Amino acid sequence: MTDRASGTTDESPRRPSYGQRRRARIDALATAGTVDDQPGVSLIRSAWLRLRRNPVFLIGLAITVVFVVLALVSPWLAPWDPTARPLLDQVRPQSNPVPGPEPGHPLGADDRGRDLLSRLLVGSRQTLIVGVFATLFGLLGGLVLGTLAGAMGGWVDSLVMRVVDVMLSIPSLLLAFTIASLARSPSQWTLIVAIAVVQVPIFARLLRGSMLAQRSSDHVLAARSLGVKPRAIVFRHMLPNALGPVIVQATLSLAVAIIDAAALSFLGLGNPDQRQPEWGQMLGLAQRYISEAPHLAFYPAGCIIVVALGFTLMGESLREALDPKSRR
Amino acid sequence: MTHHPMGSAEPLLAVRDLRVTFQRHGEKAFRAVDGVSFDVRPGQTVGLVGESGCGKSVTSLAIMGLLPKRGNRVEGTAIFDGEDLLSLSPSAMRDRRGADIAMIFQDPLSSLNPVVTIGRQVTEVMERHQGLSRKDATPKAAELLERVGIPDPRARLINYPHQLSGGMRQRALIAMALACNPRLLIADEPTTALDVTIQAQILALLKELVVDTGTALVMITHDLGVVAGLCDEVNVLYGGKIVERGGRHGLFQRPRHPYTVGLLNSIPRLDAPRGEKLSPVPGSVADNLPWDSACAFAPRCPNVLDVCTQEQPGWDGDQVVGYRCFNPMGGPR
């Protein structure tokens, strides 16, 4: 076969022979694992190359993407206006407080005759907004405090960390509950602020710890030995290297923020406006009919769990991919 | 190698009576460096040799002003080019570091920032001290990498440290240290983390760079092989004090201090009969006596006399050659 192949090399372009294709395939396999040798492959890129092949990450990513897309397009996707009450005429407070599924209303309606599917879809928006913004603000606050403490050290570090310790010593939900109840008129911003405040000490402590580890690291000593200025040391040599665990924590925190937001609005501390549905709020309203219509609670609760699972799976596999010790 | 006549030029760095004391709150103070003095002349290579814990790294960090701010006290002087480095303000010292004095560390992987490309790390030094823009510094960085023997330097500029081999990383670190043509280079065990063939390459490179540029080099090592190949002057440290000093030929041919002899004897020899045991220096640094009232090495010393545990041995010699011992090998001179 090799003889024939060599004898026909000067022929016009033709399909590569079986042997050529096989060799090419093996070559591709042989170099598949050596991403580290390509020029310019950063740690983040090689983490991504590993993540791409991790089924756990892909499942988490799929769940997250599905819910984010649903939240974005829900106003157009929802079959009914979430505030309209198309099934109001079927609500019988005594015999049938919660109308069941019927054509056009696959999940039925709630106790006021509003289409449940539409409210779930539109509700994803509020829930995700609260989760994402709460985590974002918590992350920002934590970044500022953690960088300050880790970079300055001394009394700044002591002061920031004592505040953080005090905040961490209060159970997080209780603290969020307390902060949220301070608001005069509850809204989703109450939830965002309350949950963000609870997350700040977690991020601050995490970042401070990894900043301290960076501060005593050899490469920071080496940078200092070359006269690099303190500001550049903090922002170019310490912070980027300290961010890994914080980013992972942010992904995991999204799940916690969503659950906490649901818990707070379940307790009536969220947006009381029922024209803006939210899963936690729906869950709270469903309590009155938990024995007659458990599905009313089941659907929003299920959504919360699945979204939280999506973020957790993503965060966990991100942690694994960025952790050099768990690399296979 | 060219032989630099000792004592001819003005010293570039003159360390006098350097003392570093570590003091933690409520604990007994520990003196890591106890009155160390030595000179480094331009183009000269000076070795600081000793086992772990003898104070050699602390000496270099103290000179560089890199010891932690808290928990230690540095005394003495380190005159570099007419200025005492130990009394400079932190920002003045920062301007010196990397520009006039640079340092190379032991572990090349952990001494490089893992998330910044090699090119950026080299240009950063030049931007900092020479006021170059990144654009102007980049071709210079490529030249530097080429000078330290990194093949295909342009491609390596966009590499991250983990993509380079150990030897290449150490070369990149040397390039960073030499970026601003410092007059003094302190190398703290630069070859310890490398395998033997790479060690030889890196040492050859350092030797070449020192000869080419006239940079003075302080070589900190526990490896007498490194010293033999590289250093003009050797200082043997024990327990924070210099216990013997000499030119490399003199020191290796006629070591006087029993500790130097112990170090030399503990090197494995190719021509020794098979199965012969290595002869380590007995005991450990933990056995040390305080220098104030004895010789710290006395508990481990084969030549120990009564006086060794009662009095502190003085320096017997001059600025160039000498030892600190009551009962040196080969008898008193």
pLDDT category, A6, cuts 50, 70, 90? very low
In angstroms and rounded to an integer, the radius of gyration of the C-alpha atoms of chain A is 27
Sign for the CA dihedral angle at A108, A110, A114, A115 comes to: negative
Nearest to A226 by CA among B199, B235, B178: B178
Nearest to A75 by CA among A243, A275, A249, A253: A275
Nearest to B324 by CA among B36, B53, B14: B36
Buried/exposed A186-224: b ≥16 CB within 10 Å, e otherwise: bebebbbbbbbbbbbbbbbbbbbbbbbebbebbbbbbbb
Sign for the CA dihedral angle at A95, A101, A105, A107 comes to: positive
pLDDT category, A18, cuts 50, 70, 90? low
Each residue of A148-192: pLDDT tens digit?
998 888 899 999 999 999 998 888 889 998 998 888 888 888 889
pLDDT of B119: 92
Q: Cα–Cα distance between B113 and B10 in angstroms, integer?
A: 37
Number of domains chain A is built from: 1
CB within 8 Å: A39 and B163: yes
Each residue of A75-96: pLDDT tens digit?
887 777 777 777 667 766 676 6
Which two structure tokens, joined as six digits, stand for B167? 């030897």
Nearest to A228 by CA among B42, B92, B125: B125
DSSP 3-state of B324 = coil
- ipTM over cut 0.90: no
Tell me what percent of the residues of chain A surpass a pLDDT of 90: 29
- Does residue A171 belong to any structural domain of this protein? yes
- Does residue B176 belong to any structural domain of this protein? yes
- Does residue B154 belong to any structural domain of this protein? yes
Q: Residue B160 is part of which domain span?
A: 112-181
pLDDT category, A325, cuts 50, 70, 90? low
- Does residue A302 belong to any structural domain of this protein? yes
In angstroms, the separation between the Cα of residue A307 and the nearest Cα of chain B is 32
DSSP code at position B312? P
- Does residue A250 belong to any structural domain of this protein? yes
- Site of tokens 């070591």: B255
pLDDT of B317: 86
- Does residue A267 belong to any structural domain of this protein? yes
Characterise B63 by phi-psi region: left (phi > 0), alpha (psi -120 to 50), beta (else). alpha
| Cβ atoms B242, B37 nearer than 8 A | yes
Is it the case that residue A10 has pLDDT exceeding 50? no
pLDDT of A41: 54
- Does residue A10 belong to any structural domain of this protein? no
In angstroms, the separation between the Cα of residue B91 and the nearest Cα of chain A is 9
DSSP 3-state of A105 = strand
In this structure, chain B runs to a length of 333
pLDDT category, A326, cuts 50, 70, 90? low
Closest residue in A to B67 (Cα–Cα): A221
Q: Cα–Cα distance between B70 and A219 in angstroms, integer?
A: 20
Q: Residue A143 is part of which domain span?
A: 57-70+124-326
- Residue type at position B42: P
| Cβ atoms A249, A87 nearer than 8 A | no
Closest residue in A to B165 (Cα–Cα): A37
| Cβ atoms B329, B256 nearer than 8 A | yes
DSSP string, B36-100: EEEEE-TT-EEEEE--TTSSHHHHHHHHHT-S-SSSEEEEEEEEETTEEGGGS-HHHHHHHBTTT
pLDDT of B3: 47
CB pairs under 8 A between A and B: 89
- Site of tokens 């009381």: A272
Sign for the CA dihedral angle at A287, A290, A291, A296 comes to: positive
pLDDT category, A321, cuts 50, 70, 90? confident
- In chain B, residues with a C-beta closer than 8 Å to the C-beta of A237 are 113, 116
| Cβ atoms A127, A280 nearer than 8 A | yes
DSSP 3-state of A321 = helix
How far does CA A209 lie from the centroid of its chain? 22
The overall average pLDDT reported for chain A is 81
pLDDT of B184: 93
Longest dimension (CA), chain B: 67
Q: By the CB < 8 Å criterion, does B110 face chain A?
A: yes
Q: Which helix (H) or strand (E) is B323 found in, with range? A: strand B322-323
Is it the case that residue A13 has pLDDT exceeding 70? no
pLDDT of A33: 38
pLDDT category, A26, cuts 50, 70, 90? low
The four Cα atoms B8, B12, B16, B21 give a dihedral, to 10 degrees, of -150
Each residue of A93-140: pLDDT tens digit?
676 666 777 777 777 777 777 888 888 888 888 888 889 999 999 999
Nearest CB among B124, B159, B173 relative to A228 is that of B124
Q: Cα–Cα distance between B201 and B165 in angstroms, integer?
A: 13
| Cβ atoms A299, A116 nearer than 8 A | yes
- Does residue B133 belong to any structural domain of this protein? yes
Q: By the CB < 8 Å criterion, does B47 face chain A?
A: no
| Cβ atoms A195, A138 nearer than 8 A | yes
Each residue of A215-254: pLDDT tens digit?
888 899 999 999 999 999 999 999 988 888 888 889 889 9
**Below-50 pLDDT ranges, chain B:** 1-7
CATH value at residue A182: 1.10.3720.10
In angstroms, the separation between the Cα of residue B257 and the nearest Cα of chain A is 34
CB within 8 Å: A224 and B97: yes
Q: By the CB < 8 Å criterion, does B157 face chain A?
A: no
DSSP 3-state of A217 = coil
| Cβ atoms A198, A138 nearer than 8 A | yes
Q: By the CB < 8 Å criterion, does B130 face chain A?
A: no
Q: Cα–Cα distance between A171 and B37 in angstroms, integer?
A: 58
Number of domains chain B is built from: 1
In angstroms, the separation between the Cα of residue A215 and the nearest Cα of chain B is 11
- Does residue B132 belong to any structural domain of this protein? yes
- Does residue A35 belong to any structural domain of this protein? no
DSSP 3-state of B35 = strand
Nearest CB among A43, A219, A241 relative to B111 is that of A219
